[in-house]
Structure 1
Amino acid sequence: MTVARTAAEAGMSVGLVQHYFTAKDEMLLATFTRVNERFTSRVDELVHRGEAEGCTIAEMLRQALTELMPLDDARRAELLVRRAFADTAAHNACLAAVQRETLVGIRSRVAQAIRNGTVCGEVGQGVDAAGQALQIVAFAEGLALHTHIDPDGTPDRAVLAALDDHLSRVFTGTCRHAQLG
């Protein structure tokens, strides 16, 4: 990604792009921030809808995690932005801090879902929410990467089945609220 290539893709002058972004890293950070905002907005909407429909925490978490996976054109484009950002962040401390903060936020939300699952009975007592969140997020990101690298060898159906299998190892119970309803 370069300023010149971005300007060409957008059909505008390099000077106009540089008016808003003085460096490629600024442009990448703005794009990464926008992708994260869209992801967060979609996840929030899924959670609100899931709560309204009485979905289990495991179901809502599955839906949220699939937003990280390149299962359609929009999410494929977002994955490319995240990968480009990660490549640049490997050599830029400021961008690495943003990337780390984003990852910690995602793991924190997954850990909260696990803790909520413990309260309602979907997750067994004594489960290490932070440790399981690390594993779940890493697994989901690994599935996303495999789907990106080898889309023909990782059909959507298989990716979702693998995610379901992984989540079922943590979400082993039934929500008490669902039993009452």
Structure 2
Amino acid sequence: MPRVANHDARHGQITDAVQRLIVRHGLTAVTVARTAAEAGMSVGLVQHYFTTKDEMLLATFTRVNGRFTARVDELVNRGEADGRAIAEMLRQALVELIPLDDDRRAEFLVRLAFADQAAHNARLAAVQRETLAGIRSRVAQAIGNGTVCGEVAEPVDAAAQALRIVAFTEGLALHTHIDPDGTPTSAILAALDDQLSRVFSGTCRRAQLS
């Protein structure tokens, strides 16, 4: 167990260093040597875990997605316990993809760097497609649940609507990153609410009975 814990700690230390380099200087600043210096360890130790820049970026991207998923799971669990509407929980989950604070901005920059690198790397592109498909699948599941409970008032193609919602959210994230002063949080949330209301136009039958 101690060895596993130490491995995980070293792994996290390196990927956190990669993220900090991306945030401060961009992807071009990420090298094994610079990552080692940022992480406060030897080049040899970094190379023990990762031999290439792509491997470090993939691990960092995976770590960012893991944090996002954990936050979403926590939001859903808390929302279900509080009896919140599905649309409200979905909105809270999608907002986690938008760089509205320093932590989410750092994660967004990692995703942006990964997308740039994936455009020229088939392995990374496959991981990116799988990740995006997973997000769309979770949104489609929320739409399906909304159909069952009545929040989605009309029959819809859940996969098609999930594609629109996720693409819209990614667009908001990009605009927020490029022009933060021109995209205040209130406007971002209002735009997302408007998009979700096009699908979640009903009221859950549980709420009607309460």
> Is TM (by shorter chain) over 0.5?
yes
What residue number does 2:71 align with? 42
Give matches, 1:2-151, under 5 Å: 2-151=31-180
1:37 alignment partner AA: G
**Shift of the alpha carbon at 1:12?**
2.5
- The percent identity for this pair of structures is 83
Per-residue CA deviations over 1:36-70 (Å, capped at 9, x if unaligned) read 11100100000000000010000000000001011
Distance 1:95 1:153 in 2: 32
Q: What TM-score do you get using the length of structure 2 for normalisation?
A: 0.84
2:165 alignment partner AA: I
Distance 2:185 2:157 in 1: 29
| SS of equivalent to 2:176 | helix
**Shift of the alpha carbon at 1:9?**
2.0
Distance 2:39 2:169 in 1: 32
Please tell me the root mean square deviation across aligned C-alpha atoms, in Å.
0.9
Per-residue CA deviations over 1:108-158 (Å, capped at 9, x if unaligned) read 000010011011111023211111000000000110011011111111111
Verify: 1:161 aligned to 2:184, yes or no: no
Distance 2:152 2:61 in 1: 33
Distance 1:14 1:156 in 2: 41
1:90 alignment partner AA: A
Aligned residues: 181
Q: Structure 2: state its 5+ residue gaps.
A: 1-29
Distance 1:125 1:19 in 2: 55
Q: What TM-score do you get using the length of structure 1 for normalisation?
A: 0.97
**Shift of the alpha carbon at 1:5?**
2.4
Distance 1:125 1:161 in 2: 22
Q: Structure 1: state its 5+ residue gaps.
A: none
| Greater RCO, 1 or 2 (C-alpha within 8 Å, sep 6+) | 1
| SS of equivalent to 2:84 | coil
| SS of equivalent to 1:152 | helix
1:173 alignment partner AA: G
| SS of equivalent to 2:180 | coil
Distance 2:183 2:49 in 1: 39
Distance 2:95 2:182 in 1: 18
